[in-house]
């Protein structure tokens, strides 16, 4: 694992955006695995800025997102689909057919999971997967206790995750209780993994995930078994490492 220490959130975002752009420059028709949440916001902002300056071209890039809430349609402001359009897709030259995210309103969520897994295979697998880190160690919506051999599946959100995501919704009751997420196995099949973390709230879990035992009770600890992981964290997130 490579660790890049950034001074603050802005520096973390720029360093991670540089790594993603390098991937796009080296392989213009690459497949990027994308994440939502607050951590990647600065990365997407930076990528949009570089695109507008003509420094990065997404015309051949394909994206697959990690997860989506069950029950939220793509035009729901709280859906991850909406988030991606708002923060990246609508601002760069990527056509909608090249962007993929699980359908949270699919009539049969389990068959949507199988289809999504087939889609990842069909596009050739993920070249670089961007991951944020949940405070409870989750990656995607793979909550503590999730088996490492799961492909894309329907996941129940833990109480901790519901509480952490409550800030985006009007009321706690509005936070969906389940989601479709790429599984740990799907994530581990990515050729390269880029983990980003910011803030003191992530310091403890970062230490446990990367320097503690590999265990399903800390899902991100599985990343210790991947042979190409880059971690970009700011000073606060890396303060215990």
> Burial, 237: exposed, middle or buried (Cβ in 10 Å; 0-12, 13-18, 19+)?
buried
Distance CA 42, CA 161 (A): 22
At 99, which helix (H) or strand (E)? strand 99-100
At 44, which helix (H) or strand (E)? helix 41-52
> Does the annotation mark 93 as catalytic?
no
- The answer to whether residues 169 and 192 touch, using CB atoms and an 8 Å cutoff, is no
Pairing of strands 229-234, 192-197: parallel
> Does the annotation mark 67 as catalytic?
yes
What's the closest the beta carbon of residue 132 comes to ligand F6R, in angstroms?
Answer: 2
> Does the annotation mark 151 as catalytic?
no
At 26, which helix (H) or strand (E)? helix 9-26
What's the closest the beta carbon of residue 37 comes to ligand F6R, in angstroms?
Answer: 3
What's the closest the beta carbon of residue 155 comes to ligand F6R, in angstroms?
Answer: 10
Residue with CB nearest ligand F6R? Answer: 132
Which of 65, 136, 142, 165 is the catalytic position?
Answer: 136
> Does the annotation mark 163 as catalytic?
no
What's the closest the beta carbon of residue 154 comes to ligand F6R, in angstroms?
Answer: 14
Could you list the residues that contact ligand F6R (CB under 6 A)? 35-39, 66-67, 132-134, 138-141
Which of 143, 153, 165, 234 is the catalytic position?
Answer: 143
Which residue's CB is nearer to ligand F6R, number 35 or number 48? 35
Active site members: 67, 136, 138, 143
């Amino acid at each position: 694992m490579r660790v890049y220490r950034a001074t603050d959130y802005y520096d973390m975002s720029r360093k991670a955006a540089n790594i993603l752009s390098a991937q796009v420059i080296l392989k213009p028709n690459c497949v990027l695995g994308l994440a939502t949440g607050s951590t990647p916001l600065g990365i997407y902002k930076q990528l949009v800025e570089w695109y507008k300056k003509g420094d990065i071209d997404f015309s051949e890039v394909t994206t697959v997102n990690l997860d989506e809430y069950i029950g939220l349609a793509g035009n729901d402001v709280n859906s991850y689909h909406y988030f991606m359009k708002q923060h990246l897709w609508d601002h760069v030259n990527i056509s909608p057919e090249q962007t993929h995210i699980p359908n949270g309103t699919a009539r049969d969520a389990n068959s949507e999971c199988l289809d999504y897994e087939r889609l990842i295979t069909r596009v050739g697998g993920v070249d670089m997967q961007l991951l944020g880190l949940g405070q409870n160690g989750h990656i995607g919506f793979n909550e503590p206790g999730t088996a490492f051999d799961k492909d894309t599946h329907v996941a129940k959100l833990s109480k901790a995750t519901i509480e952490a995501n409550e800030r985006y919704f009007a009321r706690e009751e509005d936070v969906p209780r389940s989601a479709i997420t790429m599984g740990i196995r799907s994530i581990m099949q990515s050729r390269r993994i880029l983990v980003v973390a910011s803030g003191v709230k992530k310091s403890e879990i970062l230490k446990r995930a990367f320097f503690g035992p590999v265990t399903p009770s800390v899902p991100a600890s599985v990343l210790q078994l991947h042979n190409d992981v880059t971690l970009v964290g700011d000073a606060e997130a890396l303060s215990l490492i």
